């Protein structure tokens, strides 16, 4: 297995896989109602739904960066608004996270291993991500997903 395949495998495991760390995002968000996902258990903490939207935004931004565009914040913002609170909107948020993670994994599988050593935003005036390789960025998005999965696990226990 070459490195892009390993990275893609880790991305997929962050969503739905045999993850060593514990439940993946799919399992942690499955079976929650929109009301449970939207609930703020702690006044200073994000809701599960907000965490899902945040992870989706950053997976999309990483995908965009792989396309060669200059690094920036996600188009929808760092912490997108939940908007309409309905079961359909919650299902859509979960599906968007799944679709974006699996799409990114497919893109990563198609990369040449040498590409991973290139600098994100190389040759561009890039305020964010400058000096970071694609290899580090892709590991970072997996780590980001799992960091927030841990938060979701705790919030789910409160739900």
Please report the pLDDT score of residue 44 as a whole number. Answer: 87
Tell me the C-alpha to C-alpha distance, in Å, between residue 39 and each of 33, 34, 35, 158: 10, 9, 6, 10
Which domains does the chain show, CATH number per domain?
Answer: 3-158 (1.20.120.450)
Bridge partners of 133?
Answer: 119
**Dihedral over alpha carbons 53, 59, 65, 67 (to 10 degrees):** -110
Please report the pLDDT score of residue 127 as a whole number. Answer: 52
- At 90, which helix (H) or strand (E)? helix 87-109
Tokens (6 digits) for 34: 């929109």
Residue 82 contacts residue 38 (beta carbons within 8 Å): yes
Question: Beta-strand (E) ranges in the chain?
Answer: none
Spell out the per-residue pLDDT of the chain, length 159, in tens: 799 999 999 999 999 988 777 899 999 999 999 999 999 988 889 999 999 999 999 999 999 999 988 888 999 999 999 999 999 999 999 999 999 999 999 999 999 999 999 989 876 555 555 678 999 999 999 999 999 999 999 999 987
């Amino acid at each position: 297995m070459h490195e892009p395949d390993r990275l893609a495998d880790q991305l997929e495991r962050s969503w739905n896989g045999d993850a060593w760390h514990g439940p993946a995002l799919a399992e942690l968000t499955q079976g929650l109602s929109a009301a449970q996902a939207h609930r703020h258990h702690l006044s200073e903490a994000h809701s599960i739904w907000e965490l899902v939207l945040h992870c989706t935004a950053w997976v999309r931004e990483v995908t965009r960066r792989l396309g060669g565009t200059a690094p920036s914040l996600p188009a929808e913002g760092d912490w997108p608004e939940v908007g309409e609170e309905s079961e359909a909107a919650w299902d859509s948020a979960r599906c968007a996270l799944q679709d974006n993670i699996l799409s990114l994994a497919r893109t990563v599988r198609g990369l040449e291993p040498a590409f991973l050593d290139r600098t994100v935003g190389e040759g561009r005036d890039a305020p964010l991500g400058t000096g970071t390789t694609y290899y580090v960025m892709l590991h970072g998005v997996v780590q980001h997903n799992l960091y927030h999965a841990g938060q979701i696990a705790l919030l789910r226990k409160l739900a």
